[in-house]
Amino acid sequence: RCLNCLGRPVLCIECCMETHRVNPFHRVEQWTGDYFASAWLWQVGIGLHLGHHGDSCPVGEEEMWEDDEEEDEEDTTEDWHTVREPEKIIADSAELQRPQVMEGKGRTMSIVDVSGVHEMVVHFCSCLNRKTDFEQLLAMGIYPGSVKHPQTAFTMSVLDNFHVHNLECKINAREYYQTIRRTTRPAFPHLVQDRYREFMRVICQWHHLKVMKWNGFGHSPYRKVSPGDLALWCAACPQPGINLPDDWKEEEAKKPYLYTRMINLDGNMKAEQTAKKYVDVALTSGGGFLVADGPYKESLRASVEIKERATCNNHWAITLGNMSHKHLQVTGIRAAACARHGAFCPHSCVNFQKGEQQMNMDYALVQAFWRTMGGWGGLTRGISLYDINCQFAVNLLRQIAANHQHLSLAKGLKIIHGIGLFHIHGHQDSCAPRYSPNYIPGARQVDGEVIETLWSHLNWIASSCRTMGNNHRAETLDFHMNDNNWKKMLNIVLLLLKKYLKALDGVVMSAEGFDSISGGVSKQEIVEWTQAEQFAQEGRESDTASMDIYGPIVKDAPTKAELQIQLTEAEESGSGPIQGTASWILQGLRIQEVQ
């Protein structure tokens, strides 16, 4: 009886073989006379024939050989049969035995599928012009665990299934493979072969190949992957050469707000990594969202941290900036995202060695603007929104100039710094008019906190990345950041439509409020206010204090000494027999004495 065919049909051996010749990974049960017992399709003669679309090779079966020097995968066949008591009796059952092949009649392989771990005889093509073993397996939709002499393989279905579960459910490879083992033998999952190590290696390769194919590196002549080439970017933000007309430069002077890049930056201290003694192999170093290690570390070594006394409140980002942990190699990450649509910026995510230090933040900011502005001749106006920009922006240009070999900005680029509307309430009152996005022309209705929502999803996978190697961790984070941008692209049309309808209502409300205020003041006051606003906006680049005109004028309550002086002066300037409260009390005491 087949458990995967529709209706679970009961078949004879001949019909079962004919039905499952192209479905070798279905799970079956065998009638024992009393009940249905678990069985495998290899027991009825089902095997895999490669090289001829599932048919047997006309030349004949290849001869099996054993080459210890070419073996690059651990053979656990002996471990499979060597089972400790009292499990020996269970292991001797037909259900747990591996298929036996005659000499020169194929190769027994362990093939992992969504339905379980299958032991199957694989017959490779023996023609003179045959392809290599791993190429024959790939042609059948099976990914080999090694190249030279594969004994373990994984169906592309199980790799894609893990890919979806990892992105949506944030399940890690260990938990997923344990699920496969339980699916194979629900009562005795520990007796199923442990191919977790091979599974991890194949998953890394599979993700790399998928990303390369998605970004146009699969079916073209070889070309080197440049920084950020394997990352998706926001489809709605202006990108020269992609979604802007050829004459966009002319319109930029008239409507600069349409061609302004808004970047939201923030650090995530949950994406940490424990100290590692080994170094794994990098497949896509710097091709995604995390920057390449080499240039980044060179920039850090050349940077000099400019430390100045904080002029704002004691923020965590500053306090923890110099704190390190002995057991941690990375204390967190810092990324940049589109402030309006929430898409991660390519090649702009950096690792923290201690905390959110200025040198780390400088590198991430520079990379974010370089990879999204179009480089030389690209956009010339940018807005940076960061939690502590009142401290970070002070020495930004000095830090970049001091490390000009590794840090640079496009000529003519003007950056306006702001603070998100949530975090700005934790600052001093003077920071609100100076850094609030509400007072930045072209920022529109943006809160500057969109990256906080991205962390909530990424933190689910960050715990799995904590013990990974450097490159495996970077590739995993890249994969999930890319998936975030992919979802943004799928939903961008509906999102913009909702925002557009909401903006239409907001325009009417804002116009009514503006007309109401304008109608209550004179034309001279409007002219003065307009000139003061223009002066403040022009002077904010050199001195943010010019924006203080937007701040409310609040008078402090008088002190006790000031109140006493006021009362005394009021008494002295008064008239009549009783000039004040003190005089009134003194006059009452005199009357009492006379009586």
Cross-strand bridge partners of residue 109: 120
The predicted pLDDT at position 324 comes to: 57
> Does residue 379 contact residue 259 with C-beta atoms inside 8 Å?
yes
| Tokens at 10, concatenated | 């009961």
The predicted pLDDT at position 92 comes to: 46
Residue with tokens 């006394």: 309
369: left (phi over 0), alpha (psi -120 to 50) or beta: alpha
> Does residue 257 contact residue 377 with C-beta atoms inside 8 Å?
no
**C-alpha dihedral, 25 to 27 to 31 to 36, nearest 10°:** 170
- Name the amino acid, one letter, at 288: G
Sheet holding 260-268, edge to edge: 350-352, 332-338, 260-268, 381-385, 414-418
| Tokens at 280, concatenated | 């794994």
Cross-strand bridge partners of residue 412: none
Peptide bond into 86 cis (omega under 30): yes
The predicted pLDDT at position 338 comes to: 94
> Does residue 63 contact residue 104 with C-beta atoms inside 8 Å?
yes
Angle separating helix axes 196-214 and 156-168, nearest 10 degrees: 80
What is the end-to-end Cα distance of the chain in Å, rounded?
A: 120
Strand (E) positions, 211-346? 260-268, 273-274, 328-330, 332-338
Residue 350's Cβ-count burial label (10 Å; 0-12, 13-18, 19+) is: buried
543: left (phi over 0), alpha (psi -120 to 50) or beta: beta
Residue 185 half-sphere exposure toward CB, CA atoms < 13 A? 18
> Does residue 340 contact residue 257 with C-beta atoms inside 8 Å?
no
Delimit the domains of the chain by residue range. 47-57+101-215, 247-500, 505-550, 560-594
Kindly tell me the number of DSSP H helices and DSSP E strands found in the chain.
Answer: 19, 14
> Does residue 463 contact residue 455 with C-beta atoms inside 8 Å?
no
% helix / strand / coil in the chain, to the nearest 5? 45, 10, 45
Residue with tokens 């390369």: 212
3-state SS, residue 206: helix
Residue 36 is inside which H or E element, if any? strand 36-39
pLDDT tens for the 595 residues of the chain, in order: 999 999 999 999 889 988 898 899 999 999 988 999 988 888 888 888 888 888 888 886 544 334 434 444 444 444 433 444 444 444 445 555 667 665 456 889 999 999 999 998 999 988 888 889 999 999 999 999 998 889 999 999 999 999 999 999 999 999 999 999 999 999 899 999 999 999 999 999 999 999 999 988 877 777 888 999 999 999 999 999 888 988 898 888 888 889 999 999 999 988 988 887 777 888 888 899 999 999 999 999 998 777 767 677 666 555 554 555 678 889 899 999 999 999 999 999 999 988 778 889 899 999 999 999 887 888 999 999 999 888 888 888 888 998 989 999 988 899 999 999 999 988 888 899 999 999 998 888 899 999 999 999 999 998 889 888 888 999 999 999 999 999 999 999 999 999 899 989 889 898 999 899 888 889 899 999 999 999 998 888 888 889 988 888 777 777 877 777 877 776 666 555 555 666 667 777 777 777 6
CA angle 483, 388, 533 (to 5 degrees): 105
Predicted TM-score of the model (pTM):
0.82
Cross-strand bridge partners of residue 351: 333
Rg of the chain's alpha carbons, rounded to an integer?
35
CA 7 to chain centre: 43
